[in-house]
Amino acid sequence: MCGIIGVIDRQKQKMNGSGIKEALSLMNERGSGEGAGYAAYGIYPDFEDCYALHIFFDNLVEPKSKVDDIIQKWGRVVHQEEIPTKEQPNLKRSHVPWRYFFKPYTDLMTGSLTPDEDIVKYLVMEINSSTIEGALVFSSGKNMGVFKAAGWPEDVANFYKIDEYEGYIWLAHNRYPTNTPGWWGGAHPFNLLNWSVVHNGEITSYGTNQRYVESNGYQCTMYTDTEVVAYLFDLLGRHHELPSEIIVKAMAPPFWDEIDEMNDKERELNKAIRLTYGPALMNGPFAIVVATHDGIVGFTDRIKLRPLVVGEHGSRLYISSEEAAIRTMDPQVEDIHMPGAGEPVIGRVVT
């Protein structure tokens, strides 16, 4: 189990975090109090050109000085501070959440068409793969941020004062860890650069997917399956520049017998995707919502073993595990429906 909800305002009108907190808390039954988190886009307008690096430090002595060292070699820290938090009686503070607003020196990365993003990706992988003990980067996009911890949705939201952030996209997740322990880094959303992922279910093809992303320069370090989805989206979406529809087709493709029934053009396309991106195919039960700066996409596994409900109201698109959660955020929501297995639901910013 696990509860997920995502919302986009396609005209980029901002919402504070109070609505999504309430919606996620409604799905408390889907969690176990061992992980909850939020991602919000558009929250750092004063630093919109900087990568906001959110880092869990075990303490602010050795781990932080090592992180300071490495990131200042690769770029300039425009501003840094402890992420404001408020103690909650039911939430144990296991780490110090910190944020840097960071601008990479783009001339340091050779042979890359997107040197700034590749520097940030390199730093995230370097810090997280245990070279620096006691530091974990959990958010690294521009003008966006992830806030997560081990706790119930409401406690985590109040801990990070989620109500005070204003974003045009929000994702939220309530965790019921089943295969690996609950810990701060294992809470969702998982993020790399601008990609954030919330996920209900488990990815039984994890080994194949992990080998595929690790052979492309990513390192899985969070002891849970979902992070691989963030890296797959970065690889297929950013590096290979595939649109979301095609990424979803690669991850949750039609069955071969369905492909056989398609017209020539569709069949060729679907065959090509399956053959090229076989190692990106994900098996097992899942419902996923992924966000990036210009939109969100929700989809389920191809035999629909997890729930996903969609609702629309004006410029807002909601994707969630439960209709009641959407109605909590927006009682006036219209057009409630359930997408088919593997069918992408896409909300894009229109500007």
Residue 307 binds other proteins, judged by CB under 8 A:
yes
Instruction: Name the phi and psi angles at 140, rounded to 5.
Output: -150, 25
Residue 267 binds other proteins, judged by CB under 8 A:
no
Q: Considering the complex, what minimum distance in angstroms separates the CB of residue 338 from other proteins?
A: 5
CB 184 within 8 A of CB 148: yes
* 227/322 with CB nearer other proteins: 322
Here the tokens at position 216 are 């492309």
* 241/257 with CB nearer other proteins: 257
From candidates 36, 248, 325, 329, binder to other proteins by CB under 8 A: 325
Q: Which of residues 24-43 bind other proteins (CB under 8 A)?
A: 26-27, 29
From candidates 50, 309, 319, 329, binder to other proteins by CB under 8 A: 309
Q: Considering the complex, what minimum distance in angstroms separates the CB of residue 323 from other proteins?
A: 5
Contact region for other proteins (CB under 8 A) — 4-12, 83-91, 276-284, 302-310?
Answer: 302-310
Q: Considering the complex, what minimum distance in angstroms separates the CB of residue 165 from other proteins?
A: 25
Instruction: Name the phi and psi angles at 48, rounded to 5.
Output: -65, -20
Q: Considering the complex, what minimum distance in angstroms separates the CB of residue 33 from other proteins?
A: 15
Here the tokens at position 99 are 């944020």
* 29/48 with CB nearer other proteins: 29
Q: String of b and e for 159-170 (b: at least 16 CB within 10 Å)?
A: bbebeebebbbb
Q: What is the DSSP string of 134-191?
A: TEEEEE--BSEEEEEESS-HHHHHHHTTGGG-EESEEEEEE---SSS---GGGSSPEE
Whole-number Å distance between alpha carbons of 80 and 58: 17
Residue 137 binds other proteins, judged by CB under 8 A:
no
Here the tokens at position 344 are 């992408």
CB 325 within 8 A of CB 24: yes
Tell which residue, 143, 158, 189, 36, has the closest CA to residue 85: 158
- What H or E segment, with its residue span, contains residue 37? strand 36-41
* 26/220 with CB nearer other proteins: 26
Contact region for other proteins (CB under 8 A) — 61-69, 176-184, 210-218, 318-326?
Answer: 318-326
Instruction: Kindly state the DSSP code that residue 248 receives in the 8-state scheme.
Output: H
Catalytic site includes residue 50:
no
Contact region for other proteins (CB under 8 A) — 47-55, 72-80, 156-164, 304-312?
Answer: 304-312
* 54/327 with CB nearer other proteins: 327
Residue 322 binds other proteins, judged by CB under 8 A:
yes
Residue 285 binds other proteins, judged by CB under 8 A:
no
Question: What residue has token string 């569709």?
Answer: 266
Contact region for other proteins (CB under 8 A) — 36-44, 85-93, 197-205, 303-311?
Answer: 303-311
Residue 336 binds other proteins, judged by CB under 8 A:
yes
Cα distances (Å, whole numbers) of residue 285 to 11, 213, 248, 305, 338: 33, 20, 15, 5, 16
* 27/172 with CB nearer other proteins: 27
Q: How many CB atoms are closer than 10 A to CB 27?
A: 24
Q: Which of residues 200-259 bind other proteins (CB under 8 A)?
A: 255, 257-258
Whole-number Å distance between alpha carbons of 209 and 240: 16
* 280/309 with CB nearer other proteins: 309
Spot the catalytic one: 1, 2, 193, 296: 2
Contact set with other proteins (CB under 8 A): 26-27, 29, 255, 257-258, 261, 303-304, 307, 309, 322-325, 327-328, 336, 338, 340-341
The catalytic residues are: 2
